[in-house]
Amino acid sequence: MARPVEEPIAVAKGTPSHGAAANGSGNGSGNGHGEGAAAALWSAPDWDPAAQDPRPAALSAAAPSATAPSVGPPPVGPPPPHPPTPRSGPSAPAPRTHRWGLGAYLLVEAIFLGASLLISQLLATDGPPQASSLAIALATPTVLAAATALLITRLRGNGPVADLGLTPTWRDVGLGVAFGVGGLVVTIPASVLYVAVVGEDASSAVGDVFGDVSASVPWALVVFVIVVLVAPLCEEIVYRGLLWGGVERLAGPRAAFGVSTLLFALAHFEFARTPLLLVVALPIAVARYYTGRLTASVIAHQINNLLPGVALLLGLLGFVPLA
């Protein structure tokens, strides 16, 4: 099939040139202008691809070619760093275990006994003891022992929060109350049985010390706070904190349960009451063993000391006899 554009253009190119030859012989140079106009009218212009592009010239020049890839200047500088590869395991390293043993407990116990003897000599008087002096003698050795135990956990371990579990939570508080109240269910009948067996000689070391002492309301409250709050906290730090951790490191948690319970009962130096103190210590040790932390056992111990603390408070105020 013939193309409709190219063939008439070819004929038009030949026709004016033939007419120009005929007119040249007749009209001479006068027809030269007409020949140029005819040639301009009938000659086909050269095909320009850029002229067929309907886009503006600026866009046509800026548009990349579909066949030839654009070549730009090479990148300058080092290549960008690769993103870090994510780790599959935990990012924080595991905390190291503590490095104290039974020697730490023996040191703390020696500090407790030494402070007790020294304070008893310093506060000894010929007259009747005062409630203020007895409160100082009761609290100072226990606080010094607990402070030494906390320092050992700092120097030889990860600190008391990590190694002793001194991180109070509502769960530990609830469990401490549960074990403390449950312990009273066991220790109250055991105390009644102890009094029935021993008779009139049944007493405690604290009751013997404060037997004939009366106190003002502020000092009676100070003694109550020491017996119910301070002493249980300090004793738990020493026995089910430092001692428990030393034995557990050597022989496991079950051995720590048994050894700490036995030494807690013996360390009161009330050997007639040792069986009763063992019964008292069992629910407290169960709270420590069950939770794996010290908060629950501290609260259970404080609840266990609540009734003796109330009796001591009333006795110091003269409402009930202590002796």
For position 323, what pLDDT does the model report?
62
Is 0.75 topped by the overall pTM? no
| H helix runs in the chain, sequence order | 6-27, 32-42, 57-62, 102-122, 131-156, 160-163, 170-198, 205-209, 217-225, 231-237, 244-251, 253-266, 274-291, 295-304, 306-316
Q: What pLDDT score was predicted for residue 55?
A: 53
Among the listed residues 150, 142, 138, the one whose alpha carbon sits nearest the alpha carbon of residue 104? 150
pLDDT digits (tens, 9 = 90+) for 94-121: 556 888 999 999 999 999 999 999 998 8
Q: What is the mean pLDDT of residues 126-139?
A: 88
Query: How confident is residue 82, by pLDDT bands cut at 50, 70 and 90?
Result: low
DSSP structure string for 203-238: --HHHHHTTT----HHHHHHHHHIIIIIHHHHHHHI
Summarize pLDDT for 211-242 with one digit per residue, the tens: 888 899 999 999 999 999 999 999 999 999 99
